[in-house]
Chains A and B, each alone.
Chain A
Amino acid sequence: MLADIGLISLVLGLATAVYAAVASLVGARQGLRGAAWIASARSALVAVWPLLTISCGAMIWMLIAGDFQVEYVATVASREMPVFLKVAGLWGGQAGSLLFWSWVAAAFSALVMFRKWGSDKALLPYVIAISAATEIFFMLLVVFIETPFSKLDFIPQDGNGMNPLLRHAGMVIHPPMLYLGFVGFTIPYAFAMAALISGRLSDEWIHASRRWTLAAWLFLSLGLVLGGRWAYDVLGWGGYWAWDPVENAALLPWLTGTAFLHSVMIQEKRGMLKFWNMVLISVTYGLVVLGTFLTRSGIISSVHAFARSAIGPLFFGYIALMIGFSVYWLLRRRSALRAEHRLDSILSRETAFLINNLLFVSFTLTVLYGTLFPLITELFAGEKITLRVGWYNQVAGPQMAALVLMMGIAPVLSWRRASARRIGRALFLPLVLSLLLVGFLVVLDVRSLGALIGFGISAFVGLTTLLEFWQAARARRRTKGENYLVALNRIIVRNRRRYGGYLVHLSIVLMAIGITGSYFFQQETQGALRRGETMTLGGYTILYEGLDEWQEGEDLFVSEATVAVYRDKERIATLKPRRNFYVDHQQPVTVPAVRSTVGEDFYVILVGWEQIGPDQATFKVYLNPLINWLWAGALMLIVGTLVAAWPSRRARLPFSAAYRPGMILTEKTNVV
């Protein structure tokens, strides 16, 4: 019954989206007389959202109630799972996650419809059409290929339950974040295409979609970090990023999306790179669809997975279609997308942005190539070769370092023509201080070149960015007589976009410090301990106190060790690393126990005990220096993005009210 409601509502949603697309195009063709059609299309696109909400609601209800006759419910849920995991079951399997994807897309499009369109009205019909096209594709998949509403001929007693690795709070929020990010990027793409088709190629599509882009970027960033945190907490291998195809799939659109966020600035300020920005957002859209496909199909583990389901060819067909569509309109409008200005000097912010973009694109291509390498080798060499972490670190490390370095240099270059003196003044102090830091680290016996470069660059970029804040605050203090805190607050409020961006830069620096520290200085050791025996790593000593084993429900066997952690002969913590064994899935899950401080994480894994009896257990311990800087950086990234995206009161006033005769519009008067 509920399954039928869900399916019917979904089909209605699909039909409504098709209507929205058709009506919007009809309206656009009729020009001024088409307003009614466009209004109707707009309402239809909004209506898709409640229809899909009913669909998702029905699915969630069935997951909670345990309606195991529905095949999808039986594969991802089981009686014993807690309610929040049952709800998360909506995105725990392929069919459900495609439904969820469609729902998020419908929600985003509906919200976009509610914005005040004003003078952007000319873009509206095409934004409707493009958003509807995305929704239609995913809903077609859900209705015809991978429907989560199909029923079994019999009613199973219980479901299989979710993959044990996914039964974690991080897994409950990580996929929605990722999907919000993925889907979010379809909005700026819709605006870009609308601008191309309607021929309104000024910056209005960028202004109109900027907040959506930032929101998408924030969600995608958080999705990436949460995925890393989940790996760190659940997978129990002491790390957070494995260059797994699924991780890469989310990283790829993030890279091009970040490049896009930067390169639109050059268009807004200087009227250059118009063509390139269109390319970047189209590529990001393509990578979003590809990413959804990669995370869901398992194609990377084998090409044969591709042939087994119709979903592979459909995804590739859709990506090809959208690329062809974008290329067609780009070529048609290429003359209107020519740069308005030329480069005045090589030494300018423009050049820095070009280098930034090139780095992001080469990074993207490298990761894409690595991710697809198993497919490429299987097709052309007959043997499937998977590239592992060693290769990725080799090729990605230098590009990441170069990108971070650009963050320190680009902001001090001015637009058009930068003076070498100003650059020298801005960079001299940070350069000297960071070199001093590197020297100090060498004295402290740090010999790893990578670590020295990583910390050196981080310090340099952090200091240049802080100096930007300080100089602006000092100038304000001098002219307005405010104290530093007030001045700092004022400069941020007056130019949220710039200083929000700098806050994000600082957060990336924090993350770079965390990554450098945990990558180059991770220590580990493993050993078997009898009860009462100890093992030492980097100043910490663990003492094995005992092992408890018990059963939870019918499916789960838990073995939990108790170890005392000592530092300088003082007991500082009791840790309980455990191993969960899920009988139904025959899957062991290692749950590490961690003692976290600002400086480092002491991370204990229970490796084994059965072979040697509970009197003796094997532990692996890691010391992960500075890793918490990574997570702290992620929190700061949220703050910075919110500062950059927050509407400023001045900009919200209509132009006539904000503008008074005699007021000079300068670059600083940033109408966001």
Chain B
Amino acid sequence: MVRVGAILVLAAVVLLPTAVWADDGPSQDQVNAVARKLFCPVCENTPLDVCPTEACQQWRDVIQTRLVEGQSEQEILDYFAEMYGDSVLAQPPPRQWAAWALPALILVLGAAALIFWLRSWTRPVPVAAQAVAAQEAADEQVEEDRPHIERLERELAEWE
């Protein structure tokens, strides 16, 4: 009896830590924390942490295994990117610099366009252009009359 008890105690001492350790492996939240930053190439735009397909479950298992092996989040992301391309990453890596190049260019060009417009629209009319301006003023008079002409036309049309 004593021997059996001793074996049980021994077994408990030996087995318990492993059992506890297994439970202490990466939690589902820890797996999800990595999975959220990944997209599998098949499922359209569904993040890996919530994708219900079999394939995505397998990817999550891979993450779990690698976390158990002690890999860091970045190492796991790098692994998937290397295997399946940068498209699997929710956040594109800096080597895809072209992704930011155009938005940055748009920003610069937009600011330049704004400054250009504001300057050209507020600049006083040069002397040489005064003849043109006089012509424009005459045109403008016509333009100013236009609403009245149109109203007249509209009313005439309604009389018809």
**A344 vs B151: C-alpha distance in the bound complex, in angstroms?**
29
Q: A343-B121, A362-B106, A588-B52 are in contact. Are A655 and B154 (CB under 8 A)?
A: yes
Q: Is A150 an interface residue (CB 8 A)?
A: no
What's the Cα separation between A618 and B51 when bound, in Å? 14
Interface segment out of the listed A41-49, A381-389, A450-458: A381-389
The answer to whether the Cβ of B63 comes within 8 Å of any Cβ in the partner chain is: no
How distant is B55 from chain A, measured CB to nearest CB, in Å?
A: 12
Whether A526 lies near B121 (C-beta < 8 A) is: no
Give the interface centre of A243, A394, A579 by most chain B CB atoms within 10 Å.
A394
Nearest-neighbour CB distance to chain A for B150, whole angstroms, equals 6
| A391 CB contact (under 8 Å) in B91, B107, B153 | B91
Contact of A361 with B50 at beta-carbon distance under 8 Å, contacts A343-B121, A387-B92 already known? no
With a cutoff of 8 Å between Cβ atoms, the chain B residues found around residue A63 in the complex are none
- The complex places the Cα of A91 from the Cα of B55 at a distance, in Å, of 30
State whether B45 touches A242 (Cβ < 8 A). yes
Q: Are B107 and A526 in contact (CB under 8 A)?
A: no
B34 CB–A CB distance under 8 Å: no
B122 in contact with A343 (CB, 8 Å): yes
Chain A residue at smallest Cβ distance from B51: A237
Closest A residue to B37 by beta carbon equals A390
Taking a contact as CB atoms closer than 8 A, the residue among B29, B103, B114, B143 that contacts A271 in the complex is B143
Residues B74-108 near A (CB distance < 8 A): 85-87, 89-92, 96, 98-100, 102-103, 106-107
Most B C-beta atoms less than 10 A away, residue of A366, A388, A589:
A388
Question: Do residues A237 and B114 form an inter-chain contact, with CB atoms below 8 A?
Answer: no
* Nearest CB on A from B122, distance (A): 5
Contact of A369 among B28, B50, B102 (CB under 8 A): B102
How many chain A residues have a CB neighbour from B under 8 Å?
A: 63
Q: Does A236 contact B (CB under 8 A)?
A: yes
In the complex, the answer to whether A387 meets B99 with C-beta atoms within 8 Å is yes
**CB within 8 A of B32: which of A339, A391, A524?**
A524
Given A340-B140, A354-B117, CB of A202 within 8 Å of CB of B103: no
A620 and B103 form a contact (CB under 8 A): no
Interface residues of A in 578-618 (CB under 8 A from B): 579, 588-590, 605, 607-608, 618
- Cα of A395 to Cα of B49 in the assembled complex, Å: 23
**In the assembly, what is the distance between CA of A365 and CA of B107, in Å?**
10
What is the bound-complex CA distance between A474 and B140, given in angstroms?
39
Residue in A236, A243, A340 whose beta carbon sits within 8 Å of that of B143 in the complex: A340
B38-89 residues at the A interface, CB under 8 angstroms:
39, 44-47, 49-53, 57, 85-87, 89
Given A237-B47, A526-B28, A527-B28, the answer on whether A119 and B121 have CB atoms closer than 8 Å is: no
> Is the Cβ of B85 less than 8 Å from the Cβ of A346?
no
B118 close to A351 (CB less than 8 A): yes
Roughly how many angstroms separate A244 CA and B39 CA in the complex, as a whole number? Answer: 12
Per the bound structure, the CA–CA distance linking A518 and B121 in Å amounts to: 43
- B28 contacts A385, C-beta separation under 8 Å: no
Q: What's the minimum C-beta distance from B82 to chain A, rounded to whole angstroms?
A: 13
Residues of B within 8 A of A366 (CB): 102-103, 106
List of B residues within 8 angstroms of A237 by Cβ: 46-47, 49-51
Task: Flag A346-371 by CB within 8 Å of B: 1 or 0 each.
Answer: 10000100110011011001100110
Give the docked Cα–Cα distance between A579 and B106 (Å).
44
Given known A355-B114, A526-B32, contact A388–B151 (CB-CB < 8 A): no
> A204 near B: Cβ within 8 Å?
yes
CA–CA, A342 and B119, complex, Å? 11
CB-CB under 8 A from A243, the residues of chain B are 45
Which residues of A sit under 8 angstroms from B154, Cβ to Cβ?
A: 118-119, 655
| A244:B44 contact, CB within 8 angstroms | yes
B151 touches A655 (CB 8 A): yes
A30 CB to closest chain B CB (Å) equals 19
**In the complex, chain B residues whose CB is within 8 Å of the CB of A618:** 28
**Residues in chain B near residue A588, CB distance under 8 A:** 52-53
**Inter-subunit contact B122/A345 (CB<8 Å):** yes
Q: How far is the CB of A541 from chain B (nearest CB, A)?
A: 16
Does A525 sit within 8 A of B, measured CB to CB?
Answer: yes
Given contacts A366-B103, A579-B52, contact A119 B110 (CB under 8 A): no
B126 close to A (CB within 8 Å): no
User: By the criterion CB–CB under 8 Å, are B122 and A526 in contact?
Assistant: no
Name the residue on B nearest A298 (C-beta): B44
Q: Does A631 contact B (CB under 8 A)?
A: no
**Would B39 and A388 count as touching, CB distance under 8 A?**
yes
On whether the beta carbons of B46 and A235 are closer than 8 Å, the reply is yes
- How far apart are the CA atoms of A536 and B151 in the complex, in Å? 69
A337 to chain B, nearest CB (A): 12
B157 near A118: Cβ-Cβ < 8 Å: yes
Q: Do residues B155 and A655 form an inter-chain contact, with CB atoms below 8 A?
A: yes
| B158 at interface, CB cutoff 8 A | yes
Chain B residues whose CB sits within 8 angstroms of the CB of A608 once the complex forms: 57
A202 contacts B146, C-beta separation under 8 Å: yes
Query: B122 to A525, Cβ gap below 8 A?
Result: no
Chain B residue nearest to A300 in the complex (CB): B44
Q: Is A489 an interface residue (CB 8 A)?
A: no
Smallest Cβ-Cβ distance to B100: which chain A residue = A395
> Contact partner of B107 among A362, A525, A607, CB < 8 A?
A362
Q: In the complex, which residues of chain B have a beta carbon less than 8 angstroms from the beta carbon of A373?
A: 99
Q: Is the CB of A202 within 8 A of B147?
A: yes
B residues less than 8 Å from A345 (CB atoms): 122
Taking A237-B50, A358-B114, A361-B110 as known contacts, 8 extra A-B pairs with beta carbons closer than 8 A to each other, sorted by chain A number, are A119-B156, A121-B157, A244-B45, A345-B122, A383-B85, A527-B27, A527-B28, A605-B50
- Give 8 closest A-B pairs by Cβ, nearest first: A390-B91, A119-B154, A343-B121, A237-B50, A386-B87, A526-B28, A390-B90, A119-B153
- 12 intermolecular pairs with C-beta atoms under 8 Å apart: A121-B157, A301-B44, A342-B122, A343-B118, A362-B106, A362-B107, A366-B103, A373-B99, A390-B89, A391-B99, A654-B155, A655-B155
